[in-house]
Amino acid sequence: MDGSRPYDLVLFGGTGFTGGLTADYLASRIPEGKRWALVGRNRRKLDAVVARLAAANPGATAPEVIEADAGDRAAMREVAEATRVVVTTVGPYALYGEPLVAACAAAGTDYADLTGEPEFVDRMWVEHHAEAERTGARIVHCCGFDSIPHDLGAYFTVKQLPEGVPLTVNGYVRSNASFSGGTYHSAINGFGRARQTLAAAKERKRAEQRPAGREVHSAPARVRHDGQLGGWVVPLPTIDGPIVRRSAAALDRYGPDFTYGHNMLAKRLASVAALAAGVSTGFTLAQLPPTRKLLLKMKSPGEGPSAEKREKSWFKVVFVGEGGGKHVVTEVRGGDPGYSETSKMLAESGLCLAFDELPQRSGQLTTAVAMGDPLLERLKKAGISFEVVESTPAG
C-alpha cells in the first residue's frame, strides 16, 4: 500500500453517537507521529468533535477534518485515495455504504465498518470483492458486536481443539443491553428489504467458490432447553453465523469438516416468546412504506444511552467445541455491546489494519481471516475477555 498517502487512518461518521465514541477511543490510542482525520458533511460538527477530543486528550495527535458526503462518489474516491485505512460508522449501510466500499476497493485502501446487514455484505462481495483482490484492499465488514465476539470467539475456540479433524462449535449469546438506534434502523430497513436480501444472497452463492476438499455446515436449528447452560437455546438468524462459517471456509485451521451453530441463551421461555412476537410484528409492519416510516421514527439512529447505563450493560458468549476427542468451553465477555464495546472493537480493527503485521490477504474478508491473532491480542489488551473455562476429553 502507498506509504506516501497523507493519512494512516480516517474515521467517517465521527459526529454520530457510536462514531463519537469511536473517535474518543482512537484519539487516545493513535500512535505518536501518525496522521488521521475525521470525515463528514458538516464542518461545524466535525470541528466540535476535534475540540472535544483535544480537551479530553491534551498532547494527543489531533485529527484533521475532511468535508465529504457519503453519496458523493468523487468525494469518496478522494477520501479513499488519501488514506491507508477507512473506518466508517455511517449506516444503514445498504442505503449509504456502497460508494465508500467501491472507492476503497478501487484505491487499494483497507476498510472496516459496523454493518450487520446481510444484503449489504453480500452485495458488496458480488460487486467489489474481485476489484479489492486485484488492488490489495482488505474490505472487512461486521467489526462491532456484529460479528467480532462471535467470529473471533469461534476462532479462539477452534485454536483450543486438535488440527486436521472434524470440529463442531456452538455459540450461545447472552446480554442485558438494549439495541442501539443504529442497529434498530438497520434491522427495520433490513426487514423492509427482505426480497433484496434474498436476491443478494442467491447471487453471491452462485458466484462464490466453496473450499476445495473441505466442508462447512450450519448446525441444526431448534429451540430447546439446556440444563448445563441453564436456559433456553434459541437459534439466532443474524449475520454472525454466516460470518463464522465464512472464516471456516477460508482457513484450513477449522479442519476438513466444520459445523457451527449460533444461538441466543434466555433464562425464561416467556422472554423468547416476547422477542419472537416483537420481531414478527416489526417484520410485518416494515413491509409497507408508511408503517416502516413510523417504526423508524420511534428511535433515532444517533441516540444512545447515558454513560451510567452503558456502565451497567454487559454481554457474554459461551462457545462449546468438540473434535478429535477433545471438549472445550470458552467465553468471550465484555461491557456494553451496542456502544462502548462496539466502538472499541471497530477502532481496534482500524488500528490493527493500519499498524499491525497481517497475513497477505485481500478482497472481502472476515475479521478472523483479515486480522486473526493480532486483533485477538489487541482486544484482550483492551479489556475484552477471551478465556478457556473447560477443557476435557470428549464423552
pLDDT at 280 over 70: no
Instruction: State the first-to-last Cα distance of the chain, in angstroms, to the nearest integer.
Output: 49
Reported confidence tier of residue 57, pLDDT bands at 50, 70, 90: confident
Q: For residue 81, what is its C-alpha cell?
A: 485515495
Return the pLDDT at 87.
98
Tens digit of each residue's pLDDT (9 = 90 or more) over 304-359: 666 777 778 889 999 999 999 999 999 999 998 888 899 999 999 999 999 999 99
**How many angstroms separate the CA atoms of 180 and 322, rounded?**
34
pTM for the full predicted model: 0.91
**How many angstroms separate the CA atoms of 330 and 320, rounded?**
7
Alpha carbon dihedral 60, 61, 64, 69, in 10-degree steps, equals: -80
Tens digit of each residue's pLDDT (9 = 90 or more) over 97-134: 999 999 999 999 999 999 999 999 999 999 999 999 99
**How many angstroms separate the CA atoms of 109 and 80, rounded?**
6
Closest to 217 measured CA to CA, from 249, 239, 240: 249
**Highest mean pLDDT, choosing among 104-108, 145-149, 221-225, 265-269:** 104-108
pLDDT at 283 over 60: no
**How many angstroms separate the CA atoms of 206 and 189, rounded?**
25
| Contact criterion met (CB below 8 Å) for 176 and 313 | yes
**How many angstroms separate the CA atoms of 30 and 125, rounded?**
30
**How many angstroms separate the CA atoms of 228 and 175, rounded?**
18
Reported confidence tier of residue 275, pLDDT bands at 50, 70, 90: low
